[in-house]
């Protein structure tokens, strides 16, 4: 697995795609948080909080992570190199997990430039440092596990298709449904008391728990379970192509 992990990271950083993804995430989030007139603008809100960033980031990652995963398996199938991987002394689980962790790593690296926002808000607070550290670090942890969930969904989508564009679109759709679609469906209260159960099938409620500064093992277990299920299904899908 580690060999695939290193190969994928080298591929992402070697052809500049990782640098472009990280830069694009940082640039777009900075525009919304400090320059554009909108409800996310920290300077307009007038409070020392990064809550706007933690609301905005999942929507950006929803489109960015599938852009990374779309080539992980779909490109291998399209170019025929997947058959070459099958001929190597590697388990299919090693291939899937190596690609998954490389995407997750790049997704987490996207968050590093946002520490500049934290530094800015920390110094703009009155008095200086007037920022909820528990909420901030809990939210960062939530974003890290959310990126893992998006990465697993993207890998799953990529395993289903040999076309990168289709893999990307399916990845975005899966991320959208899991993060926002299920939450919105539950908000219509069509199932009565079962709506609460439906909400807990989606990412949104579990991520929101982290943004309140609470790191609940149940929320962490949920994301880990989703990752395992997605990767197992992806492993089965790839094994059918062997």
Give tens-digit pLDDT for 176-232. 999 999 988 887 776 666 777 778 899 999 999 999 888 889 999 999 999 999 999
Exposed/middle/buried for residue 227 (C-beta within 10 Å: 0-12, 13-18, 19+): buried
Nearest to 56, CA basis, from 159, 183, 144, 143: 143
Write b or e for each residue in 50-71: b if 16 or more Cβ atoms lie within 10 A of its Cβ, otherwise e: bbbbbebbbbbbbbbbbbbbbb
Q: Which residues contact 182 (CB under 8 A, 6 or more apart)?
A: 198, 199, 201, 202, 203, 204
What pLDDT does 49 receive? 81
Of the CA atoms within 13 Å of residue 136, those in its CB half-sphere come to: 16
What pLDDT does 83 receive? 67
What pLDDT does 215 receive? 86
- Among the residue ranges 1-5, 27-31, 116-120, 151-155, the one predicted with the least confidence is 1-5
Higher-confidence position of 187 and 48: 187
Domain boundaries, the chain: 39-239
What pLDDT does 177 receive? 96
Token pair recorded at residue 24? 């694009």
Token pair recorded at residue 95? 């291939």
Nearest to 49, CA basis, from 146, 125, 115: 125
> Phi/psi zone of residue 46: left (φ > 0), alpha (ψ -120 to 50 degrees), beta?
left
Give tens-digit pLDDT for 59-115. 999 999 999 999 888 777 777 677 667 677 778 888 899 999 999 999 999 999 999
What pLDDT does 191 receive? 66
pLDDT at position 30 over 90? yes
What pLDDT does 7 receive? 84
Listing DSSP states for 42-91 in one string gives: HHHHTSS--HHHHHHHHHHHHHHHHHHHTTTTHHHHHHTHHHHHHTSS--
- Among the residue ranges 18-22, 35-39, 139-143, 205-209, the one predicted with the least confidence is 35-39
Whole-number Å distance between alpha carbons of 165 and 131: 41
The whole-angstrom distance between residue 221's C-alpha and the CA centroid of its chain comes to: 16
- Among the residue ranges 30-39, 45-54, 83-92, the one predicted with the least confidence is 83-92
pLDDT at position 21 over 90? yes
Nearest to 109, CA basis, from 160, 137, 143: 143
What pLDDT does 210 receive? 93
Give tens-digit pLDDT for 128-179. 767 888 899 999 999 999 999 999 999 999 999 888 899 999 999 999 999 9
């Amino acid at each position: 697995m580690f060999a695939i992990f290193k190969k994928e990271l080298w591929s992402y950083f070697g052809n500049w795609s990782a640098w472009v993804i990280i830069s694009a995430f940082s640039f777009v989030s900075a525009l919304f948080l400090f320059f554009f007139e909108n409800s996310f603008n920290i300077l307009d809100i007038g409070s020392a909080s990064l809550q706007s960033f933690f609301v905005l980031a999942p929507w950006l990652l929803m489109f960015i992570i599938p852009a990374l995963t779309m080539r992980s398996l779909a490109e291998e199938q399209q170019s025929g190199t997947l058959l070459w991987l099958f001929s190597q002394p590697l388990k299919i689980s090693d291939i899937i997990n190596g690609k998954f962790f490389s995407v997750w790593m790049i997704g987490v690296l996207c968050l590093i430039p946002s520490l500049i926002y934290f530094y800015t808000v920390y110094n703009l607070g009155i008095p200086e440092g007037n920022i909820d550290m528990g909420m901030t670090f809990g939210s960062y942890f939530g974003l890290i596990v959310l990126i893992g969930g998006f990465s697993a969904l993207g890998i799953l989508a990529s395993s289903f298709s040999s076309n990168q564009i289709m893999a990307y679109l399916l990845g975005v759709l899966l991320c959208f449904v899991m993060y926002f679609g299920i939450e919105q469906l539950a908000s219509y209260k069509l199932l009565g008391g079962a709506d609460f159960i439906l909400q807990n099938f989606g990412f949104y409620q579990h991520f929101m728990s982290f943004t309140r500064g609470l790191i609940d093992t149940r929320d962490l277990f949920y994301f880990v379970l989703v990752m395992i299920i997605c990767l197992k299904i992806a492993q089965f899908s790839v094994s059918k192509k062997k």
